[in-house]
Amino acid sequence: MKLEEMKIIVTGGASGMGRHFAEQLHAAGAQVAVGDVNAEGLEALPPGIHRRTLNVASEQECASFVGWAAEVMGGLNGLINNAGIIRDGLLVKKSRSTGEIQKMSLEQLEAVIDVNLIGATLMAREVAAVMIERGTPGVVVNVSSIARHGSRGQTNYVASKAAMAMNTVTWMREWSRYGIRCGAIAPGMVETAMTQGMNQKAKDALVAGIPVGRIGQPEDLWLAVKFIIECDYFNGRTIDVDGGGGMG
């Protein structure tokens, strides 16, 4: 598909990678609707990008947002499922000072699954329903992570991102008959507000394990998203964009 023909939703598009994706699509001539819980970030988006607050963990908000986006853009043929959060911690650990057994809380588990997996699934469902009902070919791009292969201290995040990679295959098999493709990107360590706040020593140690010798930039991930959108022969696969092996 050509970028200028896209009428596409970007979730989590008020900052970070999502914002970069939205800005690049807009600059290429696409119509873009951004949804995010960050109202201030939405207001700071360039003029011409449609924007509205969205909590993807709410089924009602997902359905309402997709209907609104299809109306304001005069159609809908794409989704970048980018919204996500982290609530890191070991599943079980023993305190070195007290010997107390500490566990990842149910809130930590549910919060990440609700946004990263259920929210993304709800958005994909609603977008696909609109495209199928209108007979519109399109593309859904999921954001997984190389953490899906296993990452210490990220049980909840790993579960959500592994599921998104596998649902990319599942949805490809379900939607291909309607002309809807589904692909995914799996970022490694990427320069965002989240990574900028990391302890520098810990950050340097992580970068040292990346074969290309640097942290990823949002533009690196955009190139993979752009490929998925534009390559009509790409379907049901996940592209690792991690510099050769750095964990995300």
Rounded Cα gap, residues 155 and 89, in angstroms: 8
Tell me whether strands 101-103 and 92-94 are parallel, antiparallel or unpaired: antiparallel
Tell me whether strands 101-103 and 180-187 are parallel, antiparallel or unpaired: unpaired
* Torsion angle of the four alpha carbons 14, 194, 209, 146, in this order, in degrees rounded to the nearest 10: -50
Kindly report the CA angle at 68 between 114 and 127, in degrees rounded to 5?
Answer: 55
**Which residue among 62, 84, 146, 157 is the active-site one?**
157
Question: 148, 159 in Cβ contact below 8 A?
Answer: no
Residues 219, 164, 156, 120: is their CA dihedral positive or negative?
A: positive
Question: Among 193, 234, 166, 168, which Cα is nearest to 17's?
Answer: 193
Question: 127, 79 in Cβ contact below 8 A?
Answer: yes
Question: Token match 């924007």: residue?
Answer: 51
Residues, the chain, total? 248
Tell me the backbone φ, ψ of residue 71, rounded to 5 degrees. -75, -50
Amino acid, single-letter form, for residue 61: E
Rounded Cα gap, residues 11 and 3, in angstroms: 17
Amino acid, single-letter form, for residue 240: D
| Annotation marks residue 157 as catalytic | yes
Catalytic residue positions, numbered: 157
